[in-house]
Amino acid sequence: MTTTQGDSGVLAGEERMLVDGALVDATGGARFDVVHPASEEVVGQAADGTVDDLSRAVAAARRAFDAGDWARDVQFRHRCLIQLHDALEANKERLRRILITEVGCPVTVTGSQIESPVAEVKHWAEHGRDFDYLVDTGSHETALGPARRKLNYEPLGVVGAITPWNVPLYLNIAETVPALMAGNTVVLKPAQLTPWSGSELGRIVAEETDIPAGVFNVVTSNANEVGAALSADPRVDMITFTGSTATGRAILAASAPTVKKTLLELGGKSAHIVLDDADFGSALPMAAMMACVMSGQSCVLPSRILLPRSRYDEGLAVLQSSMENFPMGDPWTPGNMQGPQVSETQRQKVLDLIASGRDSGARLVTGGGVPESLPVGYYVQPTLLADVDPDSRIAQEEIFGPVLTVTPYDTEEQAVAIANNSIYGLSGEVSGADVDRAFAVAQRMRTGNVTINGKSHFGITSPFGGTKQSGLGYRNGEQGFTEYLHIKTIGMPQ
């Protein structure tokens, strides 16, 4: 069932789950409400799946992998995923409206959340079709004489995907389509706040592709124990998860008894080192935009700005002007680039962290509260905090809001030390006129990815993964595809 509301474009998505090829209600028919962050109103419902529903989905995925041909027929997988790509393309505007309804993402910036993931389906279909699943490594000398060795790349089995709410359609695709193209079967558990970006994907798979029953399953639920059950289920061979480091630790603990593979993209507290020769007029407005464009709800956001003390006041002035003039408001209005936080809980978390920063001695330059012009909706003002102690809570905890903290430094060595002073290591940025110097600084940052002068590290053809407590493994690139494959080494006669 779909509903619309007024002239806003609000659109509710598929209420049912996809289990073993059928769109079904939750056991007992339970549902939970979905709230539009820009209006604070309930705009629809989703199936409130149970642990039993999850178990049925896992059983279907296990059976489809063990008894079906999906794992063995590359050409069939390619054909089905091209069907999925074409169906997503045809449903793109419907998906866009559902995305804005669930997340509050402004329509102006939905390209990365709609066009990009739809294109990635085709990329992975073609990448998997052309991948060499059997590699002959030639002759090897052994104590028993020469042996020929071949590497056989095989699917892992059943993959459980647990996804977050900030970029839901993108991550639902990023965590399932490479796994499917590699020959695995999948059970997707979308985030509670954004169930429709998962259930709509399930509906499209069921109604518009030839993907066999059980190969792809979607279980929506408002209960945390459903995701925990997926992580612990011995019939699941791998868990892929994007979300908080705290939840990632819980998934590792739940997965440990069955020693299943885990691919984790976790929290970030990335630093942006602005060198003293940087073009502030270019680098800092972009930094402000990155903080606000997704309401700060991005794991790779370089939220800690490190400015040279010699140009500190100049940098603060540029950041303040950029944040005070950033277009924020109704996500349905073209031109607005910052919408609301996804929920009241998330907004309160952001406001609490801002308050903690001020309590620890940070200076509020601009923002810091709820905009008076937007009394309805979970909005937070673009916020700039200066003179931030690098050991304070505001400098150490992921905020996931439109907030930048600024800390001065005196030397490059001090800037790198401050940047590395974090349990996280997901992303980072360096700005400077001397690119070789900026590159040398980037090499010293303990983080999985670094952008220099706005040239993004992120893309479908390049591996993306974190260090320290920001995750395990890679998405994207050749490495991201082989995460979903096991390498079997076979020794044989010449």
User: Can you read off the two tokens belonging to residue 470?
Assistant: 């920001």
At 330, which amino acid appears? D
Can you tell me the distance from the alpha carbon of 395 to that of 304, in angstroms, rounded to the nearest whole number? 7
Q: CA nearest 153: which of 377, 464, 489? A: 489
Pairing, β 216-218 against β 185-189: parallel
Q: Which residues touch 7 (CB under 8 Å, ≥6 apart)?
A: none
Question: Residue 473 has which token pair?
Answer: 């493994």
CA 421 from chain centre, in angstroms, equals 23
DSSP label at residue 73:
-
Distance CA(381)–CA(103), nearest Å, equals 17
Catalytic residue among 14, 200, 265, 398: 265
**DSSP class of residue 309?**
G
* 450's tokens: 């670094």
Catalytic residue list contains 265: yes
Alpha-carbon distance 237 to 258, whole Å? 9
Eight-class DSSP state of 328: B
CA distance 210 to 231: 28
What length does the chain have? 494
What is d(CA 248, CA 265) in angstroms, rounded to the nearest whole number? 8
Find the DSSP H helices in 32-176.
51-67, 74-90, 92-103, 115-130, 168-174
Active site residues: 265
